[in-house]
Structures are given as structure tokens and as C-alpha cells.
Amino acid sequence: MIERKTTIALVTGGGSGIGRSICLRLALKGHKVLVVDLDLNAAQRTVEEVINNGGQAEAYVVDVSNNEQVLALFNNINEEHTIDVLINNAGIAHIGNIEQTSESDLDRIYNINVKGVYNCILGVIETMKTQKRGVIINMASVASSVGIADRFAYSMTKGAVLTMTYSIAKDYIADGIRCNCISPGRVHTPFVDNFLEENYSDNKEEMFEKLSKSQPIGRMGNPDEIAAMVDYLCSDDAAFITGSNFPIDGGFVTLNN
């Protein structure tokens, strides 16, 4: 019997929220998961969950906005592993219009949401070209496709993620590399809970309901629903799909008018 090669999937921001769910889902499907996060303790907690569920995982810490750090980490990883799948999930949010966005705000969100994606793709692209295969999935947002109030800087960065996806898909299709992105609407993660606690501590339940109903389907998404799409796009069933954007938004983009 031919032994099937274990696929190596690297997930940034894998310590919590959507990233955590992606790691658990991919490990369940037989991938060895490299959990990358700025918070090593969070990454290790995800690794423990994966291992406790019978999967394989390793934890790594890196600041995705730091080019030197990222390339050093990926060079070290590439000596031991062949990265087959890259999930660019790490990202941060910012609330405010242009007048409420300082230059330092703009630089901070650009460095993580845009430069972070650039750094990580740069870290794997040569190896993927050499092996003539690879899957890259970037986490965009509904904000990359439609106007959302008070999301000036965030929308800018997610629009860049969307168009970077198109460029990578176009430039490396002949190298057997597929690149797609996922654009979630509001997803119920610890970030949402923390946001409500910090800004609406007196009426959290009311605001949670309001945010939930901004999706036509009437609720927020679940991180596992995003992870399911990642799982599909990584699989051979999606071998004909590249250069595509997948909104998972409860009808937000197409039905909210």
C-alpha cells in the first residue's frame, strides 16, 4: 500500500477565533498544522487541542508585520517541513473614518493586514514553485467589496488582500499554485465579545443583537463555518478553483440593500 504524504498547513493567527477553528478542522482532516501566532501561549493552546483530538501540530511565534522575522521563521520551517498550504488569517481591525484614523493607526493596520500577507506569501512562494504545487488562502472581508461606515483603514487593507489574491493567482497559475480568498461577514469570536465589553458594557446584549441582525440571515457567523470553507478550498475537490473570492456573510453583500 502506498503511504499517503501528510500535508503541511501553516495558519497565521492560529491561536484564537477563526484561526483556531481552521487549525482544528484541518488537523481533523489529516493535515499537520503549524500554528503561527504573535502570542505563543495561545498558539500552544491550539496545538494542545489539536493533539488531544488525535492530530499533529506545532506552535511558532512571529510578528507577521516584521519581514526579517517572518522570512527567518519560514526559512527554518522550510528546512524541516514542506509547506503545502498557507492560510493568511492573522489580522487586526480599526474603527473610524479618515478623520478618526491617525497616521500611526494607518501604518499599524497596513503593516499587519497587508504587509503581513505579503511577508508570509514571500516566505512560501519559492518552495511552492519548486514543488509545483501549493494552496494559499487569504482572509479578506465583506469590507473589501462594499462600503461599510467607519471602517476606512480596515476596508483599505482588506481591499488590498483581495487584489493581492488575484495577482498571486494570475502570476503563479502555471506553477501549480492556487490562491483564493474568503470574505467573512461578522463572525462571533472573542474579538466581538471584547469589543462589546470595551465599548458597550452597559448594553452588550442589545448591541450583540443589533450586530447579528446586520446580516440578512439574522445572526453572526460561526468560526467553524469559515473553517469549513478553508477545508474545502484546501482539498482536491477545489482543484479547479483559483483567483476567487468567497463571501461567507449571511447575505450581507448581495442582500443588504
The burial class, CB within 10 Å (0-12 / 13-18 / 19+), for 178 is buried
Q: Which residues are catalytic?
A: 154
CA 249 to CA 68: how far, in whole Å?
35
E strand or H helix that includes residue 139: strand 134-139
Handedness of CA 117, 230, 232, 162 (dihedral sign): negative
Place of cell 477563526: 18
Instruction: Tell me how far the alpha carbon of residue 156 is from its chain's centroid.
Output: 16
Helix 152-171 with 103-113: angle, nearest 10 deg? 30
